[in-house]
Chain A
Amino acid sequence: MANRFTILKNSKIRYFDSILFLTVIFLIVFGLVMLLSVSSYDASVNYGDSAYYFKRQLLNTGVGLVAMLFVALVPYHFWQRLQVGIYVFSVVLLLLIIPFGTTVNGAKRWLNVAGISIQPAEVAKLAIIIVLSHIICKLGNFINSWKGFVYVMAPSLPLVFMIYAITRNLSSAIIVLGIAFVMCFVASSEYKRYVFILLVMIGIAALAVFVVVQNQDSSIGFRGERILAWLDPNAYASGKGFQTLQALYAIGSGGFMGKGIGESMQKLGYIPEAQNDMIFSIICEELGFVGALCVIALFLLLIWRCLIIAHNAPDLYGSLLVTGFLTHIAIQVILNIAVVTNTIPNTGISLPFISYGGSSVVSLLVEVGLVLSVQKEIKVRDY
């Protein structure tokens, strides 16, 4: 496929990846429709306005689209110059949560600035992509050494630590770490090291599960109970397993063709936060297995287009920016669906472009803007 896109230094014909653009637009519109369907019950019960979540998300999406256009028009090398500032900015935002953070649903994860609530963890994901792209570019072949690997991971670790320590948001911490790890993997020519690290991680996770199961009668912590609920959701049906179990009911009851849009019963107060992390289960209930397959296919299409752009990017920096976005999307989609299907323990991860959340949609659209900015620099041969 790459032969279609031969880079010509002085070509005036600009490339525009319409498939990527339309996929993003389609996901956003589809996300808004599903959000309205899923959240209207909860919104009318709690806010007396069935479109409460929808309206707010629509506003956030509008802001995100403007930001996306702006970023897309700015040459992406511009951000390379600001990268130290962006990194410091995201650290400061995270630190500001300690004195000024607001608590929603028992978690202190938000900053309220002039009526707009910002989730600093989402900003951190964007920052790590920009910063790491620059560092990897600078390292060159040095990245293939252990030292180089440490150099790349070093700036991400403070963010990961702060996200987990300040906001107790394990999933965002994992995502930031995952983005750094995958970008490093893609940029280096090494395999063994990454397979080794991955195996060690899986080993540690397995050990953690083993320890928790062995000590389930003793005073196990918050995370421990989640693991037990993952292994046997029915045993924790009224506690930690409730959300998972209700999500599984939703998926199972949807069948292959679904109940039809708007017809979900589980969204009527049975699945907590259905408009948020659990929105995929309602998609499965209303649109069925076929609908879920289509959503996954859309994300795959998006990832594929990013792959093509990363392949043909005019330089390494641009390619790494796109790789970062690709990784971000892939990790979140996989983890979200894995949580909803109880493939991994329950941890709050939103589905990109579809779940409710202002910071998430704005920062994702800024990333899309970066990708668009990169792809417009691809020069195609004038046939």
Chain B
Amino acid sequence: MSTQTPRRYVNKEMKKKLLVLFMVVVALFILLIYRLYSITKDNGDSYRKQILSQQKYDSTIIPYKRGSILDKNGSILASSEKVYNVILDSNLLNSDSDCIEPTFSALRKVLNIDTNKARDYFDANKETSRYYIVAKKQSYEKVNELQTMLDDPESKVKGLWFESEYQRVYPGGSLACDVIGYTTSDNVGLYGLEEHYNDILSGSAGRIYGYMNDEGALERTTISAEDGNSIVTTIDANIQSMVEKYLKKFNDDYSNNARTGNGANNVGCIIMDIHSGEILAMASYPNYDLNDVRNVNQLIGMPMLDEKGKRVIDEESGTKVTITEENVHSLEGEALYMNLNNLWKNFCISDAYEPGSVSKPLTVASAIECGSINGNEKYNCEGKLEIGGYEIHCHNRYGDGLLSVTEGIERSCNVCMMYVAQSMGIKNFTKFQHVFNLGLKTNIDLAGEARTDSLIYTADNMNASELATCSFGQGYNCTMIQMISAFSSLINGGYYYEPHLVKKIVNASGATVENIEPRLLKQTVSEETSRKIIEMCNTVVTGEYGTGKTARPAGYMIGGKTGTAQTLPRGNGEYVVSFMGYAPADNPEIAIYVVVDRPNAYGQDDAKYATRIVRSILTEVLPYMGIFMTEELSDKERAELEELQIEITTPKNVEEEENTGEEATGSEEENTEEVPKREEIWKTFPIDPATGYAVDPNTGEYVDPVTGSSIGYTMAESVNKNPENAEGEDNTNEKPKGENVGVAGENATATEEDSPW
């Protein structure tokens, strides 16, 4: 074709036109240059500011890792895990319409979430939004899977990024919940160790921040985060779980028994190393899941409190209301908060109650220390004593006759204690309460320890009858931790250690920052007194009339003291029963204290609710601690241990040792035999074949056929409530003591109002 076309040349016209074209182009270029110039000149400054204002200088926080809480063997009780928030950049995703569907389906598939809400948000804000949290607290594995998809252009996933933060995780769930406490989402510890050691566990957050330098350019600086220190506690997770297992079992056995609700309002247990003040286990029931603290179902079975923290009373029936599945969801606002607080508080340190007979060894030790008795005195118990115009009864209203101090402890005789307290007087009694740290905080390293300074008497406001009741632990209040710390000093030679839960602070890389040594505060009693008290307390478990026989675990000999305390108002049939034990009996290493606050049973005034728990716990804990068995095992006990798969460590020459033990107790009995014994008239009562108890023909009341103490409950009484007959071991006919202790009365938990938090 082209070859046929004549060859044409560029003519002058065209050259002219080319020049015209060039001129037009130059003119347009000049126009555009002028436009550029004017934008730069007129709007330069304002546009520069616009750009800077668009930049996100607001500094970004790099989260720190909160320190872990470890048990004494290094097991993790609480730790912080890195988790990721998935952020959707709608604007970026919208820039590629092919990616929208694949991205949402990837989110559904990987995170297993419903993306409808995110999709609606995306559709509404796809042009502007660059930050929308699609999912919170996702694990690294899931986020990594998404990141792999983001990196692979083939998968068409786009517009997602991740923000990291730490989440507190409690691998044990409810294990040691009262000791550990929990954290709010912003890493502030609440309750327990989390609150007390908050400053140590907290690190300092890092930051990325931008600033303008001298030339007006944006610079970014990063300060990296500093992780918090970890704490190594004295808690042994194994012992702790053994304790919690049996507290739970008690609850399972007794819940909804005599009344609706838990097995008791509160059950608490502390195990302490008496030679250092280290807490090996501390638990209370009801407990809660640290990973789900606000689950209201955990409140079911607890007493219902109103917004002021008082028990809710049903207006029609006049009975106290318990939280049930039906009414739990009606709780809201302040009232719900009150009930949750009641769940979250640590009964062992936050609740004050009247300790009852557990305090009797303290009374005796005080009297020996100040020289008013030597421990060999004998007192005549006639079942009651009249002091200051009041008749104060013993648990055995028929009287035990002439008893030594040791027997007074063994049988838990109130009259005996009243004589002992009288002999030393108010001044000495209150002085020794102070020595035993009653009314003072123990300064245990936990948040929420109750103040009890207004819940005990001083020398100035105590009268004779108050001294008498205080001698057997009624009329003043204490906390579990106060009682076990004081008692530990009685049986370890008189050394009062500050109870503590943390023995070491380590930094994020595992190096020790601080070792926390046991802190010896004072000598409460002499070693000699300590030895005497151990002898006396051993008879509680070994003696014929001992009130704590049921606390002895198979294969071991232990000592201790029971307690059955009335609550206010007196005669309401509600009791706080307890057992303070120690093991081994002759050379104590640990102390254990179990308190059952208002057991869910028809007759609450039975220390066996506490002793049985102690027995179960020690049966497992003592072998675990490597303490060898010293006692012969009956076939029944052997079967029991085999079922629990506990190694039997009874030495072969056990008989010999036991003989010496029997000799020791035998000699004591010899002493008592010299004393003319009061006739044990309850032994003549007819035995009720149905219950095995003796029945008092005069009152129709059931009494223990061995000790003569009345069993607060009979079938007849349950119908015809006679307050006189509903009295138990530590029976007083008195009116409630001084107004200043009233707080601790009707509801021991009410004292949480006085807690410093």
Whether chain B is bound by chain A comes out as yes
Q: Which residues of A contact B (CB under 8 A)?
A: 2, 45-48, 77, 80-81, 103, 105-106, 134, 137-138, 140, 182, 185-189, 238-239, 242, 248-256, 259, 263, 265-266, 269-270, 272, 284, 288-289, 292-293, 296, 299-300, 303-304, 307, 310-317, 319, 323, 326-327, 330, 333-334, 337-338, 341, 343
Interface check B646, CB cutoff 8 A: no
Taking a contact as CB atoms under 8 Å apart, the answer to whether B32 and A338 are in contact is yes
CB distance from B569 to the nearest CB of A (A): 72
CB distance from A123 to the nearest CB of B (A): 21
**Complexed CA–CA distance, A327 and B32 (Å):** 17
Q: In the complex, which residues of chain A have a beta carbon less than 8 angstroms from the beta carbon of B39?
A: 248, 251-252, 341
Interface residues as binary, B1-33 with A (CB distance below 8 Å gives 1, 0 otherwise): 110010111110111011101100110110111
Taking a contact as CB atoms under 8 Å apart, the answer to whether A255 and B19 are in contact is no
- Given A46-B158, A289-B37, also A343-B32 (CB < 8 A): yes
Interface check B46, CB cutoff 8 A: yes
**Complexed CA–CA distance, A269 and B92 (Å):** 9
- Given A81-B2, A106-B97, A334-B25, also A292-B47 (CB < 8 A): no
Q: In the complex, which residues of chain B have a beta carbon less than 8 angstroms from the beta carbon of A254?
A: 40, 44
Q: Which of the residues A185, A252, A316, A341 comes within 8 Å of B48, measured between beta carbons?
A: A252
- Given A253-B44, A256-B40, A289-B37, also A134-B10 (CB < 8 A): no
Q: Which residues of B contact A (CB under 8 A)?
A: 1-2, 5, 7-11, 13-15, 17-19, 21-22, 25-26, 28-29, 31-33, 35-37, 39-40, 43-48, 50-52, 54-55, 92, 95-98, 127-128, 151, 153, 158, 217-218
**Complexed CA–CA distance, A299 and B36 (Å):** 16
**Complexed CA–CA distance, A294 and B153 (Å):** 37
- Given A248-B47, A307-B19, A334-B25, also A263-B217 (CB < 8 A): yes
Taking a contact as CB atoms under 8 Å apart, the answer to whether B17 and A137 are in contact is no
**Complexed CA–CA distance, A332 and B9 (Å):** 28
CB distance from B749 to the nearest CB of A (A): 58
Q: Which of the residues B14, B26, B40, B55 comes within 8 Å of A187, measured between beta carbons?
A: B14
Q: Which of the residues B2, B7, B15, B92 comes within 8 Å of A311, measured between beta carbons?
A: B15
Q: In the complex, which residues of chain A have a beta carbon less than 8 angstroms from the beta carbon of B55?
A: 265
**Complexed CA–CA distance, A259 and B48 (Å):** 11
**Complexed CA–CA distance, A42 and B36 (Å):** 26
CB distance from A297 to the nearest CB of B (A): 9
**Complexed CA–CA distance, A31 and B9 (Å):** 36
CB distance from B754 to the nearest CB of A (A): 58
Q: In the complex, which residues of chain B have a beta carbon less than 8 angstroms from the beta carbon of A315?
A: 7-10
Q: In the complex, which residues of chain B have a beta carbon less than 8 angstroms from the beta carbon of A314?
A: 9
Q: In the complex, which residues of chain B have a beta carbon less than 8 angstroms from the beta carbon of A48?
A: 151
Q: In the complex, which residues of chain B have a beta carbon less than 8 angstroms from the beta carbon of A304?
A: 22
Q: Which of B1, B14, B218 has the most CB of A within 10 A?
A: B14
Q: In the complex, which residues of chain A have a beta carbon less than 8 angstroms from the beta carbon of B2?
A: 77, 80-81, 134, 317
Given contact pairs A186-B21, A337-B36, enumerate 12 new A-B contacts (beta carbons under 8 Å): A103-B97, A106-B97, A182-B21, A248-B39, A251-B36, A284-B36, A289-B36, A292-B33, A315-B9, A319-B10, A323-B18, A341-B32
Taking a contact as CB atoms under 8 Å apart, the answer to whether A81 and B1 are in contact is yes
Q: Which of B7, B10, B13, B151 has the most CB of A within 10 A?
A: B10
Q: Which of A81, A186, A248, A315 has the most CB of B within 10 A?
A: A186
Q: Which of the residues B9, B26, B98 comes within 8 Å of A316, measured between beta carbons?
A: B9
CB distance from B212 to the nearest CB of A (A): 12
| Residue on B nearest A182 in the bound complex, by CB | B21
CB distance from A333 to the nearest CB of B (A): 8
| Residue on A nearest B38 in the bound complex, by CB | A341
Taking a contact as CB atoms under 8 Å apart, the answer to whether A292 and B36 are in contact is yes
Q: In the complex, which residues of chain B have a beta carbon less than 8 angstroms from the beta carbon of A312?
A: 10
Interface SS, A side: helix
Q: Which of the residues B17, B51, B217 comes within 8 Å of A266, measured between beta carbons?
A: B51
CB distance from A20 to the nearest CB of B (A): 15
CB distance from A165 to the nearest CB of B (A): 21
**Complexed CA–CA distance, A248 and B50 (Å):** 10
Q: Which of the residues B8, B37, B95 comes within 8 Å of A272, measured between beta carbons?
A: B95
Taking a contact as CB atoms under 8 Å apart, the answer to whether A186 and B32 are in contact is no
18 A–B contacts, CB within 8 A, in A order: A46-B158, A48-B151, A186-B18, A238-B127, A251-B40, A252-B40, A252-B43, A253-B48, A253-B50, A307-B21, A315-B8, A316-B14, A327-B21, A330-B28, A334-B28, A334-B32, A341-B32, A341-B35
Taking a contact as CB atoms under 8 Å apart, the answer to whether B18 and A307 are in contact is yes
Taking a contact as CB atoms under 8 Å apart, the answer to whether B32 and A296 are in contact is yes
Interface SS, B side: helix
CB distance from B500 to the nearest CB of A (A): 53
Taking a contact as CB atoms under 8 Å apart, the answer to whether A341 and B36 are in contact is yes
Taking a contact as CB atoms under 8 Å apart, the answer to whether B10 and A316 are in contact is yes
| Residue on A nearest B31 in the bound complex, by CB | A343
Taking a contact as CB atoms under 8 Å apart, the answer to whether B158 and A252 are in contact is no
Q: In the complex, which residues of chain B have a beta carbon less than 8 angstroms from the beta carbon of A284?
A: 36, 40
Taking a contact as CB atoms under 8 Å apart, the answer to whether B51 and A265 are in contact is yes
**Complexed CA–CA distance, A324 and B26 (Å):** 17
Q: Which of A252, A256, A303, A316 has the most CB of B within 10 A?
A: A252
Q: Which of the residues A2, A239, A252 comes within 8 Å of B47, measured between beta carbons?
A: A252
**Complexed CA–CA distance, A187 and B12 (Å):** 10
| Residue on A nearest B7 in the bound complex, by CB | A315
- Given A270-B54, A303-B25, A341-B39, also A138-B97 (CB < 8 A): no
Q: Which of the residues B9, B10, B36, B51 comes within 8 Å of A253, measured between beta carbons?
A: B51
Taking a contact as CB atoms under 8 Å apart, the answer to whether B29 and A300 are in contact is yes
Taking a contact as CB atoms under 8 Å apart, the answer to whether A289 and B22 are in contact is no
Taking a contact as CB atoms under 8 Å apart, the answer to whether B29 and A185 are in contact is no
- Given A252-B48, A304-B22, A338-B32, also A317-B96 (CB < 8 A): no
Taking a contact as CB atoms under 8 Å apart, the answer to whether A265 and B8 are in contact is no
**Complexed CA–CA distance, A45 and B51 (Å):** 20
**Complexed CA–CA distance, A343 and B28 (Å):** 11
| Residue on B nearest A266 in the bound complex, by CB | B51
CB distance from B154 to the nearest CB of A (A): 12
| Residue on A nearest B10 in the bound complex, by CB | A319
**Complexed CA–CA distance, A140 and B13 (Å):** 13
- Given A48-B151, A182-B21, also A343-B44 (CB < 8 A): no
Q: Which of the residues B11, B46, B218 comes within 8 Å of A252, measured between beta carbons?
A: B46
Taking a contact as CB atoms under 8 Å apart, the answer to whether A80 and B1 are in contact is yes
Q: In the complex, which residues of chain B have a beta carbon less than 8 angstroms from the beta carbon of A326?
A: 21
CB distance from A144 to the nearest CB of B (A): 9
**Complexed CA–CA distance, A129 and B218 (Å):** 48
**Complexed CA–CA distance, A327 and B218 (Å):** 42
**Complexed CA–CA distance, A47 and B51 (Å):** 25
**Complexed CA–CA distance, A289 and B95 (Å):** 30
Taking a contact as CB atoms under 8 Å apart, the answer to whether A311 and B18 are in contact is yes
Q: In the complex, which residues of chain B have a beta carbon less than 8 angstroms from the beta carbon of A239?
A: 127
| Residue on A nearest B32 in the bound complex, by CB | A337
Q: In the complex, which residues of chain A have a beta carbon less than 8 angstroms from the beta carbon of B151?
A: 48
Taking a contact as CB atoms under 8 Å apart, the answer to whether B158 and A296 are in contact is no
Taking a contact as CB atoms under 8 Å apart, the answer to whether B21 and A317 are in contact is no
**Complexed CA–CA distance, A373 and B14 (Å):** 20
Taking a contact as CB atoms under 8 Å apart, the answer to whether A47 and B153 are in contact is yes
Q: Sorted from nearest, which 4 A-B pairs have the closest CB atoms?
A: A252-B47, A80-B2, A316-B8, A253-B48
CB distance from B58 to the nearest CB of A (A): 16
Q: Which of A81, A103, A239, A334 has the most CB of B within 10 A?
A: A334
Q: In the complex, which residues of chain A have a beta carbon less than 8 angstroms from the beta carbon of B158?
A: 46
CB distance from B25 to the nearest CB of A (A): 5
Taking a contact as CB atoms under 8 Å apart, the answer to whether B36 and A249 are in contact is no
Taking a contact as CB atoms under 8 Å apart, the answer to whether A330 and B25 are in contact is yes
Q: In the complex, which residues of chain A have a beta carbon less than 8 angstroms from the beta carbon of B18?
A: 186, 307, 310-311, 323
Taking a contact as CB atoms under 8 Å apart, the answer to whether B10 and A252 are in contact is no
| Residue on A nearest B97 in the bound complex, by CB | A106
**Complexed CA–CA distance, A239 and B94 (Å):** 13
Taking a contact as CB atoms under 8 Å apart, the answer to whether B40 and A249 are in contact is no
**Complexed CA–CA distance, A310 and B25 (Å):** 15
| Residue on A nearest B28 in the bound complex, by CB | A334
**Complexed CA–CA distance, A213 and B590 (Å):** 91
| Residue on A nearest B98 in the bound complex, by CB | A103
Q: Which of the residues B11, B22, B36 comes within 8 Å of A307, measured between beta carbons?
A: B22
